Amino acid sequence: MNPSNLLEEAFLAQKKAQSKYSNFSVGCAILTDDNKIIHGCNIESAAYPSTMCAERVAIYSAISQGITNFKSIAVVSPLGAKPCGPCRQIIHEYLGDIPIYICQDKSKDFETHYIKDLLPYPFG
């Protein structure tokens, strides 16, 4: 699957985001080694620390299904934001150094990053 198609899947996930406090909707799509797509969206809570990022929703969903091998991950948001620190750590631990495609809403342009560049000094 090419990056543009995976980003389209992330845009579909973004539409399901529950971001009533920040109005910052994020969508994520992970491509597994067997070409399955796992979606995630951010889910906010009035108890802010309970909020969950789209990347971790998708990763935890995959792990809960017994999926542990991945090809790439796509993340879309209003500003084309990179994953937060906790998400970077989880990507490092569970996805490894796979391509991370980042795209801003409604843009056809995207950036490709690797976790070793986004998190040069991971914990553990």
Residues 6+ apart with CB under 8 A from 116: 97
31, 1 contact by CB (below 8 A): yes
Distance between CA 82 and CA 92 in Å, rounded?
14
Q: Which residues pair with 27 in a beta bridge?
A: 41, 76
Given 44, 55, 93, 111, which residue is catalytic? 55
Decide if 55 is catalytic: yes
User: Among all residues, which ones are annotated catalytic?
Assistant: 55
